[in-house]
Amino acid sequence: MMKSTGLFFLLIVLAYAPSTAQEKAAATAALIPAPVEVKFGQGFFTLGKHTVIRADTGLAEEAALLNGFIRQQTGLTLAVSSKKPSISSIDLDIDPLRVKEPEGYQLLISSDAIRITGHDGAGILYGIQTWRQLWQHSPVGALSVKACIINDYPRFAYRGMHLDVSRHFFSVAFIKKYIDLLSLYKLNTFHWHLTDDQGWRIEIKKYPRLQSVAAWRDETLIGHKKEWPHRFDGKRYGGYYTQEQVKEVVRYATARHITVIPEIEMPGHALAALSAYPQLGCTGGPYKAATCWGIFDDVFCAGKDSVFTFLQDVLDEVMELFPSTYLHVGGDECPKQRWAACPHCRKRMQEEHLANEHELQSYFIKRISRYIDSKGRHLIGWDEILEGGLAPGATVMSWGGIEGAISAARQHHHVIMTPEDELYFDHYQSLYPAEPLAAGGYTSLKDVYNYQPLPDTADRQLLPYITGIQGQLWSEYLPTPEQAEYMLMPRAMALAERAWSPETRKSYPDFLSRLRSQKKMLDNIPVNSAGNFDEINYTVLAVNKGSIRITLRSDMPGGKIYYSTDGSRPGLKSRLYKGPVNINQAVLLRAALYNGGKPVGRIFEQSFHIHKAIGASVALQNAPTSKYGGPASKLVNGIYGVHRYNDQQWMGFSGNDLEAVIDLEKVQPIKVVGANILQYHWQRMWAPVWLQFAVSVDGIHYKTIARQDEYPVNGINKVRIKLQGITARYIKVTGINKGIIPLGEYGAGANSLLMIDELIVN
Q: Which of the residues are catalytic?
A: 196, 269, 333
**Which residues touch 2 (CB under 8 Å, ≥6 apart)?**
54, 56, 84, 91, 93
DSSP helix, strand, coil percent of the chain (3-state; round to 5): 30, 30, 40
User: N- to C-terminal Cα distance for the chain?
Assistant: 81
CA–CA dist 3, 368 (Å, integer): 48
* Element containing residue 733 per DSSP (H, E): strand 715-735
For residue 203, give the nearest of 254, 252, 256, 249 by alpha carbon: 249
The residue type found at 260 is V
Q: Residue 468 and residue 423: Cα distance in Å, rounded?
A: 12
Secondary structure (3-state) at 363? helix
For residue 384, give the DSSP letter. Answer: G
In DSSP notation, 236-302 reads -EE--B-HHHHHHHHHHHHHTT-EEEEEEEESSS-HHHHHH-GGGBSS-------SS-S--S--B-S
The DSSP code sequence of 1-36 is -----HHHHHHHHHT-PPPPHHHHHHHTTT-SSPPS
Point out which residues pair with 45 in neighbouring strands.
145
Strand 79-81 vs strand 52-55: parallel, antiparallel, or unpaired? parallel
Give the SS3 label for residue 168.
coil
Q: How far apart (Å, rounded) are the C-alpha atoms in residues 214 and 220?
A: 15
Give strand ranges (E) for 73-198.
Answer: 79-81, 89-94, 105-109, 113-118, 143-152, 158-164, 189-193, 195-196
Number of C-beta neighbours around residue 49 at 10 A: 11
DSSP state of 505: G
Distance CA 216, CA 240 (A): 9
Contact criterion met (CB below 8 Å) for 324 and 260: yes
CA atoms within 13 A on the CB side of 409: 23
State the virtual CA torsion across 335, 420, 759, 730 in degrees, nearest 10: 90
Q: Identify which of 280, 112, 134, 148 has the alpha carbon closest to the alpha carbon of residue 207.
A: 280
Q: Are 344 and 284 in contact (CB under 8 A)?
A: no
Q: What is the CA radius of gyration of the chain?
A: 29
What whole-number distance in Å separates Cα of residue 548 and Cα of residue 57?
A: 68
What is the rounded distance in angstroms from the CA atom of residue 573 to the CA atom of residue 15? 53
Which of the 8 DSSP states describes residue 212? Answer: I
> Bridge partners of 118?
94, 105
Of 172, 124, 182, the closest CA to residue 525 belongs to 182
d(C-alpha 261, C-alpha 545), whole Å: 56
Alpha helices in 143-196 (DSSP H): 172-184
Using CA atoms, how far residue 565 sits from 272, 562, 590, 615, 713, in Å, is 52, 11, 6, 21, 30
Report CA dihedral (507, 508, 510, 512) to the nearest 10 degrees.
160
